[in-house]
Amino acid sequence: MNYIDHIKGYLSRAALLLLMAGGALMAGCEDFLVRDVPNQTTDEEWWQNKGQLNTALNNLYKPMPSGSITYVNHDVKQAQNTGYSNARVEMEALTDNGIGSANYVSYNAFTAGITSASETVCTNIWNMKWTVIRRCCRFMEHYQQATVAPDAAPHEGIQTVDRFAAEARALRAFYHLELFLFFGDIPLVDHSTLPTEQFLVRRPQQEVVDWIAGELEGASHNLPVVPQTKSERWRWTKGACYAWMSYLYLYVGDWANAKKWAEEVVKLGIYDLYRSTADPADSFRRQFIHEAYNNDTKESILTTELGMRQVQRRLAPPDGGNGQTGLSPTASLVDEFELLDGRTLDELPADEKRAYQLDPQPEKRDPRLGMSIIFPTETFLGYTAHPWEPSHKDAIGKEGSTKTGYWIKKWANETDRTNYSSTDGGKLDFQNMRYAVVLLNYVEAAIELNQLSDPNIYDYLDDIRDRAGMPPVDRTKYATQTKLRELVRRERRVELAFEGHRLFDIRRWRIAEQVMNGEVYGATPPGADDRYLAQTRVFNPNRDYLWPIPVGEMNTNTAMEQNPGY
């Protein structure tokens, strides 16, 4: 797969190749093959010592997805703005959870049903991930050249150099996994490809899944259970490999393996849901702010370091800290939260349901609602938002303000608000994978396997709900596979909102044509008899479940097949 004209801007002396999904034909191939290292020296000069290996490895982590944009969430030699498409919070604009309102990345073509192979978001993700996959391959091909003294007391018995190689292998597998989730069947790259290999083809789904899972499992053998230091939650571990294997299998409906690998995470015995000792009732919200990290939370499995450092700038109201409201929550998401007694809005009489739709009354609902979303005129962190005042900076529809009347509260914190001094002034990490995801993976897989007698189904759901302040699952109401499926899907949506999972959930459940078509509503303006109509969406089920292969790839790789409808 050849892609990339923009790579010309970062190759110091020209090159051909950029690996399968990226081997742009240029002069100077041999030079590039030995100079694709962090400082553009040669392979013989670079791969010499532990410090150089560490620098090269840390660069492989740069394209890990962030929450909001960070200015560094992209390949080290690509333009800063390529990382704007690599932010998972803003990407929930592609779901029924939110409407995108950022001026730095647009998902409007997706939600309008007019996405093309020229779409910038698709191109950025495609180029970025294949570029770093090539770097992962080169690391694994050259790390043994370095002279590294054996550790006298290796952490968990694993030599540092072996752990480095395993991290690179896990990263390479994960970047393949991301491409698979976005684009479907993909080529598989396990070495830095040569110009003669540039026309690689997409492999069948089962082969892709088997390879990614095999690479993650293989990497796990030389990865620790516990990071070497508490500050290294962003490094790959055994638990991170197992958790993402479970996620991969869940996505393709391999329920037995999804459950198996979720169980392997549980069996490690080191993870738990975060519960605040300072304010237990606020534990769910505090899992996403500095308190949890400062207290060495056991819920984090894999983070992106500083991946939410721009939370104040990107998600806050414009008058509440110069925010840009990168994503506006929808009424559809608000409606999903149960009442405090466990009833859903659909279980209420029609007039009572309508009353809650017009006035959500978060104080009477699942506490996660009020912990995830800022409501119109609510005061939070000392600031009151004003979406209904036309002359106000926060007015609905104004540039940089909400599209729905709601803002995101999850991730917002006093520390970053008061210490905010620049666009990237925050210090908050992003949760790429946390223990609650694993528990929900296990529950869903057990339900789909119809193993309803498995006590963990109720125990894990009860644990998640109890932490949030909700009652245990009603065993009488939720006793069948159909009802439990309904429950776990709702729990995934409300527990994991704004964390980047909803897009893949609505894809694998094949419900996107239901939830991404038609009118999208926000909050109810004062005195109005209906909610604010924020957007109208179009979703084509014959096309939009996968992104298009970028036009640059299609033009240069004659072996590449385009996804249907593009």
pLDDT above 70 for 211: yes
d(CA 502, CA 372): 15
Give the pLDDT of residue 511.
98
Element housing 494 (H / E): helix 481-495
Q: What is the pLDDT of residues 508-527, one digit of tens each?
A: 999 999 999 999 999 999 99
User: What does pTM read for this prediction?
Assistant: 0.93
Average pLDDT over residues 335-350: 98
Q: How high is the mean pLDDT of the chain?
A: 91
Q: What is the pLDDT of residues 12-24, one digit of tens each?
A: 222 223 433 343 3
Q: What is the pLDDT of residues 79-116, one digit of tens each?
A: 888 999 999 999 999 999 999 988 889 999 999 999 99
Question: What would the two tokens of residue 419 be?
Answer: 């210490």
Give the pLDDT of residue 32.
43
pLDDT above 60 for 33: no
Three-state DSSP class for 210? helix
Q: Quick one: what percent of the chain has pLDDT higher than 70?
A: 92
Return the closest-CA partner of residue 435 out of 283, 553, 270.
270
Q: What is the pLDDT of residues 224-280, one digit of tens each?
A: 999 999 889 999 999 999 999 999 999 999 999 999 999 999 999 999 999 999 999
Q: What is the pLDDT of residues 433-482, one digit of tens each?
A: 999 999 999 999 999 999 999 999 999 999 999 999 999 999 999 999 99
User: Is 536:520 a contact under the CB 8 Å cutoff?
Assistant: yes
Q: What is the pLDDT of residues 273-319, one digit of tens each?
A: 999 999 999 999 999 998 998 888 999 999 999 999 888 889 989 88
Question: What would the two tokens of residue 278 be?
Answer: 């300072």
User: Is 299:428 a contact under the CB 8 Å cutoff?
Assistant: no
d(CA 284, CA 497): 12
Give the pLDDT of residue 35.
55
Give the pLDDT of residue 416.
78
d(CA 566, CA 564): 6
Average pLDDT over residues 371-393: 93
d(CA 210, CA 214): 6
pLDDT above 70 for 9: no
User: 């990263």: which residue's tokens?
Assistant: 171
Question: What would the two tokens of residue 63 be?
Answer: 């394209």
CA dist 245 → 242, 354, 370, 521 (Å): 5, 41, 32, 36
Q: What is the pLDDT of residues 129-160, one digit of tens each?
A: 999 999 999 999 999 999 999 999 999 999 99
User: Is 238:224 a contact under the CB 8 Å cutoff?
Assistant: yes
**Residue 70 pLDDT grade (very low, low, confident, very high; cuts 50, 70, 90):** confident
